[in-house]
Structure 1
Amino acid sequence: KHSKIFLLDEPLSNIDVQLREKARDEIQALHEKNQQTIIYVTHDQLEAMALGDRIAIINDGIIQMIDTPDNIYNHPTNLFVAQFIGTPRINTLDVSYDQGKLFFNDEVVLSNSKRLAEMNLTSKRLCLGIRPEHVIVKKEKTNLLDMSAQIEMIVDYGRYQQLTLSLKNNQVIKAITNNNNFSSGESVYFSFMEGKILLFDYETKANLEN
């Protein structure tokens, strides 16, 4: 068909994974060839990220964010968007801010940061978001900001491993690593990639850097 616009409502939801991937590639190829506008509805976040030039994320009938896949993933407008996109789901931790430092479980997560200084934070209580691939796990403490944890579970996907880390106060976070030398039950240390930390207002859940 040669319509200027197509409305597709979950067209691939009832087919198996391999065929869905092939059909997705076909839709992408047709779009690149014909340059027709496609409005594509899906609950599959991977499908949305793979096909969308711009993505609109809706919650309870209200558009939360419209942007490119890169900005949706790396600069979400609020915590809902951050949690909706990404597998495994983004880790969220309650942190406190005091005198230029971020604290989690009474340990310093971030200090002397230019980002923190530029944000002019006034609230003492914040929500920190960090994606699993931005959690650094190591066997030994090599930095003052490294925190201790225990590996509760390992899921091996071949090209990477997903670690479930048990922290203090029965809290759990997930980490993605290419290092396959870890063992379940092992005590390790972890830290966060500073530039990948997301901070949200504790009450409104808005991204404090948007």
Structure 2
Amino acid sequence: MNALEFFQKSAGKWRSQRTTHHLAFRRAERGGSEILVNPLNADDPKVIEICQMHAIEPTNAIGGAYVKWDGTMAWDKDDGETHSGETVFALVPDDETGRKGKLLREVGYAEVMPVIGRYEIDDEEALVLITDYPSMSSYERFWFPAPNVRVRASTVQRFGGFSQATFCTEELISEDKVEVAASATSQPAIASVFGW
């Protein structure tokens, strides 16, 4: 399986339950979200736009995805804050296998800025994403224990010591396609490249 096939397998609407461990505070919080994932072809205008944003030749991309999410975390329930947003990303493989390469993001996970990360399909057919930012680094691993269940483990390490770890279980609840917004913009994300 290559990375585009992995993202195509993620198409549809997912219900995510997660626990985030804030290591510096020695506390954990739970949360949940609904995520809509729509894979995009290489010739999709949004994929081309993301490539141009990062000064990468669009014909090098093999596709990407549009993701929209809406979630809450336990600590936010008192003030009614929700975590919603949308983003687009593109895959630019290193070779013809498509199993590793660059992941161009409209907005990052740990910092709200356009960013280029790395992706790789490992020996267990899991997707690994690594992204370095000016002040932190994130590592994410996704896998499918069943066709309708996806699991994600991630860590964020801030330079200087602060870090967090998250574990998510996600269940596919609908295979319906998602409409890509005319102007997909992102808001501060608490989740990953997919927004979950």
- Give the structure-2-normalised TM-score: 0.23
Higher percent of residues as helix: 1
Largest Rg, 1 or 2? 1
Q: Which has the higher contact order (CA 8 A, sep 6+)?
A: 2
